Structure 1
C-alpha cells in the first residue's frame, strides 16, 4: 500500500517533517505502508536485506539473544522513531512489534537516494538517531543506578509521553506495550518486584491500573518526580 502522508499521525514529528509537500510526495512514492501484528518481526538479526522504516503507530522492541537463548531488550521504538541501518545498524539485533504497529518502509537504496537529494532529511535522521541514543543511554543509566520504583516510574512516564500527541504533556491513559515479564527483563528486576512496585505506585495515587495493561495517570507530576524525569 502506498503511503498516505496527508493523514499520517506523525507527519509533524517524524524525520520527514522537514520536507516540503513536493519533496514529501516524491519520497512517499518510493515507500510502502506495512502493518505488523504483536510479536511479528520487522528485522531479524543477520538480515542483510533489512529495509528502513518510520514507526507511525504502535511500539517496537530492539533485542538481542545471548548464547543461552535469553532475550535482552536493548531499546524501545515509539511513534515517529526511525528504524534502519542508515545510522544505527541492527545487524545483530531483532526488531519486533510489541503491539499492532504501522510503519512507513523504504528500501535502503531508495532512502539513500532521498538523503542525497534532500540534505535536510539527512540532518533530521541524524538528529532522530541522536535522540534515540540519548533515550537508550537514559534507560541504561536508570537500570544501572536507580532503585526499582524510580526505574518503573520512569518507564511508565516515558510510555505516557510517547503515547501523547502533545510534546509537553503525557497522555492521561494508555496500554503498556510490554508484559510484566518484558518490563522486568528491561529494567533488571524480577516479575514479582514489578508487580509489587506497580501496586505501590497505585497506592501512592500516581497511577491507576485498568485491566491487565491499562494505565491511567492520576497524578502525572508525582509520577514524574518519582521517575527522576523532572529536569528533562
Structure 2
C-alpha cells in the first residue's frame, strides 16, 4: 500500500494525516486492492456493499442504466476520487447505481463500517477520519446538486451552457478540458447525442464557444 501514499495523501479522506497514520488506517479499514479492465463492472445496481472504492489509477463511471441500455452518467472518478461511500455507510442499502471501469484501473476498497463502530485499535486519528468522511459525503452531494442544476434546464443549449459555465468557474479559466467524451457528455446531461452535437455546432457558428474534442473555450463577449 505504501506505493499509493502520494495519491492517498492528496485525497480529502486522508486530509491532515501522516504517512504512518494513513498506513495504520488502511489496516483498520481492511483495505484491499483490486484491478479491473476497461468496461468491466466494479459495482452493479442491486448490489449492497460495506466498502467504498478509492481510484488509485485509471478512472471509473458512476451511472444508472435501464434494461434498454440507456445510461445516465452521474459522475466520472479519477485517481484520488471515491465512489460508493453513501451506500457503504448505510448498512443494507441497495445500490441504484452501477460503477464500471472507463479505463483499466486500480481500486482500493475501504470498509466504512469499521469507521462507524469503536476502533478495535483505539487509534487517535479515528475521529479525524470520520470528520473527513463527512466532508467527502458532503462534497458528493454538491456534485450531484450541480448535475441536477444542469439537467433541470429546459433546452439542450441551456444544459450545455450551464455545464460549460460551471466547468469554467470550477477550473478558473475560460479555456478548459472536460472529463467526458461526446457520448458520455450526452449521457451526463441526459440529452440525445445527435441533438447535442447539432447544438454544439450552432454554438460554435454563433461564436459562443470554440471546441476540439474534450477541449472547450468560452467566448464571453458573445454573451453580451
Query: Same fold per TM (> 0.5)?
Result: yes
Q: Which residue among 144, 147, 152 is the counterpart of 1:139?
A: 147
Partners of 1:171 and 1:32 in 2: how far apart?
40
Query: Cα RMSD between the aligned structures?
Result: 3.6
TM-score normalised by the chain length of structure 2: 0.72
Matched, 1:93 2:60: no
Equivalence for 2:31: 31
The answer as to 2:110 corresponding to 1:106 is: yes
Q: 8 Å contact 1:59–1:177 — kept in the other structure?
A: no
Contact 2:55 2:82 in 1 (8 A): yes
Q: TM-score, normalised by structure 1?
A: 0.70
Partner of 1:218, secondary structure, is strand
Structure 2: tracts of 5 or more residues without a match: none
Q: Which residue of 2 aligns with 1:185?
A: 187
Mark the CA change 1:146 to 1:3 in structure 2 (over 3 Å): closer, same or farther.
farther
Contact 1:87 1:126 in 2 (8 A): no
Equivalences for 1:1-232 in 2 at 5 Å? 2-8=1-7, 11-29=9-27, 30-49=30-49, 51-66=51-66, 68-73=67-72, 75-79=74-78, 80-84=80-84, 85-87=87-89, 91-108=95-112, 117=123, 118-156=126-164, 169=172, 174=177, 176-180=179-183, 182-203=184-205, 204=207, 206-209=209-212, 214-219=213-218, 222=220
Q: Is the 8 A contact 1:148 1:197 kept in 2?
A: yes
Q: Per-residue CA shift, 1:14-70, capped at 9, x if unaligned?
A: 31123222211212344244343332211112333563212234443333334x434
Deviation of 1:7 (Å)? 2.9
8 Å CA contact retained: 2:41, 2:101: yes
Take 2:173 and 2:56, find their aligned partners in 1: how far apart are those partners?
A: 18
- Deviates further, 83-92 or 19-28: 83-92
Q: Which has the higher mean CA deviation after the structures are superposed, 128-137 or 54-63?
A: 54-63
- When structure 1 is superposed on structure 2, of 110-119 and 33-42 the one drifting more is 110-119
Contact 2:181 2:214 in 1 (8 A): no
Query: Larger Cα Rg: Structure 1 or Structure 2?
Result: 2
Decide whether aligned partners of structure 1 residues 60 and 159 sit closer, same or farther in structure 2, where only a CA change above 3 A counts. farther
